[in-house]
Structure 1
C-alpha cells in the first residue's frame, strides 16, 4: 500500500516504491505540509471573486498570495536542481519586468481559485519528491544577482528549504489577516 501523504514516514511517498522518508527530510516535509495547509485553509469556501479581493491597505489578496507562494517554491526548487541560471538577474530588471512580477500577487481575469490551488498542489508535490530523493541537502549554489543578496553568498538545498518554509509561513499569516478582514474567519486561531 502506498500513501500520497508527504508526512507519512512509514510507507512510500508515491507509487514508485520510494523508500520511506525519515529523519530530517520527514521533518522538512511535515513543516512544509503544515504551513501549506494553513495557506490553503485560508481560502476555504471562497469564491473566485473573494479570492481576488483586497481587504486591507496592501495590494495583496488570498488568491494572489497562493500564486506568489507557488511561484516562489517552483523557482527555488529549480534553483536547487539547476542553480542561479534558472532565476532572473534582479539587478538588471526593468520597470516592466517588475510590473510583470507584480501580476504574481493578483488574481487575473480568467484565473480561478481552483486553478491556483491545483497549480500549488502540483508544485508542492514536485518539492516533496525532491526533498525525498535529493542525494544531498548540502548541495550548494551561488545565489542569483539581486540587491538583497550579498554578491558572493551561496545557499544549500537545506537553506533554500528554510526559505520556502519561511515564505509559506509568512504569507499564510498575510492571508489570515486578509481573510479575517473579509468575513471574520480565522485560519490560524
Structure 2
C-alpha cells in the first residue's frame, strides 16, 4: 500500500503531476466554447475539440483497465473507433464531466497500483509481439497520448477563433 507521503513526493507524484498538467492544457483549449464550436471540424482533419476530449477520456479509462486487469479488459466497452472522436449527442459539459471522473479514478488507482506490475500487450500490429507493459509504462503512455492530443486541440482551437492555449 502506498503511504500518503509517497503520493505527495517521488515517482507517483511526478507521474500524476505530469498527467494533470497535460489534462489541464487539454481542458484549457475548450474554455469558453459553445457545443457547436466544440463539435466544429476546424481543419481538414476529422477531429473536433469535443471529440478529442471524448477520445482522451476513453483512452485513459481503457489503459487503466489494462493496468489493473490486462489485455482482455481493454476489449470491454469498445465501440466504433472513429465514433470515439465524435461528440455525438453529448454536450461539451457532459464530455468534460466524464473526463473529470475518469481522471479522478486514475488518480486514485495510481495510489494503489504496483508501478512494476506488468501485463502482456494485446496482439496488434503496432505492438511488439510478446511485449508487456508495466503500470509505469501505461502511465507514461497516457501522459504522452494526452500531451499529443492537447497539441492537436491547440491547433483546432486556434483555427476556430484564433485563441492560443499553449503559446
**Bin of the TM-score, shorter chain as denominator length:** over 0.9
CA distances 1:120-176 after superposition (whole Å, capped 9, x unpaired): 000000110111221x20000000111111120110000000100000000000000
Which fold has the larger relative contact order, with Cα–Cα distance below 8 Å and residues 6 or more apart in sequence? Answer: 2
Quote the Cα distance in structure 1 between the aligned partners of 2:70 and 2:31: 35
Superposed structure 1 runs of 4+ greater than 3 Å apart: none
Q: 2:92 aligns with which of 99, 106, 113?
A: 113
Candidates 9, 13, 16, aligned match of 1:29:
16
How many correspondences in the alignment? 162
SS, match of residue 119 in structure 2? strand
TM-score, normalised via structure 2 length: 0.93
- Rg larger in 1 or in 2? 1
Q: Does 1:124 align with 2:103?
A: yes
Query: In the alignment, does 2:60 pair up with 1:101?
Result: no
User: Per-residue CA shift, 1:15-38, capped at 9, x if unaligned?
Assistant: xxx724120000011101100000
What 5-or-longer segments of structure 1 have no aligned partner? 1-17, 89-96
Structure 2: any 5+ residue segments left out of the alignment?
none
Counterparts of residues 51-130 of structure 1 (less than 5 Å): 51-88=38-75, 100-108=80-88, 110-130=89-109
2:4 maps to: 19
Secondary structure of 1:133's match?
coil
The alignment status of 1:172 with 2:150, answered yes or no, reads yes
The normalised TM-score by structure 1 is 0.83
Q: Aligned-pair distance for 1:101?
A: 1.2
Q: What residue in structure 2 maps to residue 151 of structure 1? A: 129
* Alpha-carbon distance in 2 for matches of 1:133, 1:187: 33
Partners of 1:141 and 1:58 lie apart in 2 by 34
Which residue number corresponds to residue 137 of structure 1? 115
Q: The residue matched to 1:146 in structure 2 has which SS?
A: coil
